[in-house]
Amino acid sequence: MMLKIKRVPTVVSNYQKDGAADTSRPVGGCGRNCLKACCLPDAKLPLYAFKKVVNEKDLALQECGEPPVAFLDSLLLGEWEDRMQKGLFRYDVTACETKVIPGEYGFVAQLNEGRHLKKRPTEFRVDKVLQPFDESKFNFTKVGQEEVLFQFEASDDGQIQFFPNAPVDVDNSPSFVAINVSPIEYGHVLLIPRIFECLPQRIDRESFLLALHMAVEADNPYFRLGYNSLGAFATINHLHFQAYYLALPFPIEKAPTKKIANLNGGVKISELLKYPVRGLVFEGGDTVEDLSNVVSDACICLQNNNIPFNVLISDCGKQVFLLPQCYAEKQALGEVDAELLDTQVNPAVWEISGHMVLKRKKDYDEASEGNAWRLLAEVSLSEERFQEVNDLIFEAIDCGDNVQRDKEEDAVSSSAHSTVVVVAGSQECVVLQ
């Protein structure tokens, strides 16, 4: 059965709407200064070439803290503010009301009424995580060059380099960082891997490693990257990650976890506890690539098994949350309470992580930890289904003796806001304070 659901997608580019041409820009090619062959000849865009982190020693030098503003921070935020001054955003996100919801977890609520206005309704299948790229639909090659902040590539010589006016090498399909014209927070950008390959929204090892390198390079604990698969509220079927700054901890980052496996490459896998959405947490690794390969293989497993999911990259690339979900499926089957549907909140990676982007003043005024929990509980797989999905993931990443699953050990980690109490024979081993 084909499940369809009416969707009101977020507009991420000023070219996403039909007929969105701006005749005030210099005429050339198609006149829209786009990223297609008609406008790219002689185009030059800034290029940030990052240093690849290759071993454990390099990782140790990348301790995530609050150092002086890094160059990538300066570049990204400087270029982002430049686009804000030029009026390229659909609204001023800095004027949106934001508050921390009272309660144990500190869910963050934002009133963002501009984000859902004047959007064109369309229909997306929610029963297929993998769908072929469709050139006729909006994709990021249709973005105007003025929306691109810079190219983001690995350095050839192993050193950080910046070129303010670098040619666009179409044949090698560079990766771009562009603004999201409907931002959720300050510095909201899109990372578009290998843009000219026109990849559908699906994780692969190379693209996920690029996203992890961006988190490492930003070296800022308030900068997180997120990914939404199709069926988990991605609205554009062209491979991209989102990222922004939020100077608060996400509730999901404070949730206690239970270690369930160790991998020989140094990657630890844990399960979220006492959080409304069930998920896995990946940490460690002797290299960035070790961590990236394990997470990307888990994502590929979910894709191949048609299981929608969201990913949050936090802690400067040292911690990755993988969250399979079923909200869109429940929505299509009419199994979600009408009161929740009326909020028009699509629980994607940011909402699942605890940053609730609300579209109605009423919902913002009445925001509570209970309401947030109630919405996110509808997102989560059941315990039985989650364990089935975990088995699929471990089968996919299992290479002989490389996986050691902790089935007997109650190894629970928690935030500074929780106390761990282990009681023999008890399944209830965490008391939050």
Give the pairing of strands 189-192 and 161-167: unpaired
Q: What is the mean pLDDT of the chain?
A: 85
Q: Is 188 among the residues known to form the active site?
A: no
Q: What's the whole-number mean pLDDT along residues 185-207?
A: 97
CB 136 within 8 A of CB 7: no
**Interatomic CA distance for residues 125 and 2, integer angstroms:** 7
Considering the candidates 188, 213, 238, 240, report the single residue annotated as catalytic.
240
Reference 393, options 275, 268, 305, 287; nearest CA is: 305
What 8-state DSSP symbol labels residue 70?
P
Q: What's the whole-number mean pLDDT along residues 165-179?
A: 94
Q: Give pLDDT tens digits for 11-68.
A: 888 887 644 444 344 445 677 788 888 888 888 999 999 988 656 555 554 566 554 4
The first and second tokens of residue 226, run together, are 């997120």
pLDDT for residue 127: 76
Q: Give pLDDT tens digits for 320-350.
A: 999 999 999 999 899 999 999 999 999 999 9
pLDDT for residue 52: 81
pLDDT at 363 over 70: yes
* Residue the block writes with tokens 């289904």: 385
The first and second tokens of residue 163, run together, are 């070129």
pTM of the shown model: 0.88
pLDDT for residue 186: 94
**Interatomic CA distance for residues 262 and 276, integer angstroms:** 25
pLDDT for residue 261: 94
CB 70 within 8 A of CB 219: yes
Q: Give pLDDT tens digits for 218-234.
A: 999 999 999 999 999 99
The first and second tokens of residue 28, run together, are 């050339």
**Interatomic CA distance for residues 81 and 92, integer angstroms:** 11
Q: 4-432 belongs to which CATH class?
A: alpha beta
b or e along 235-268 (b: 16 or more beta carbons within 10 Å of the residue's beta carbon)? Answer: bbbbbbbbbbbbeebbbbbbbbbbbbbbbebbbb
The first and second tokens of residue 283, run together, are 């940490």
pLDDT at 126 over 80: no
Strand partners, 225: 243, 313
> What are the two backbone dihedrals, phi and then psi, of residue 254, each rounded to the nearest 5 degrees?
-95, -10
Q: What's the whole-number mean pLDDT along residues 384-390?
A: 97
Alpha helix (H) residue ranges in 98-244: 205-218
pLDDT for residue 73: 87
pLDDT for residue 26: 46
Q: Exposed, middle or buried by CB within 10 Å (0-12, 13-18, 19+), for 395?
A: exposed
List the single range of 104-118, 150-164, 205-219, 400-414 with lowest mean pLDDT.
Answer: 400-414
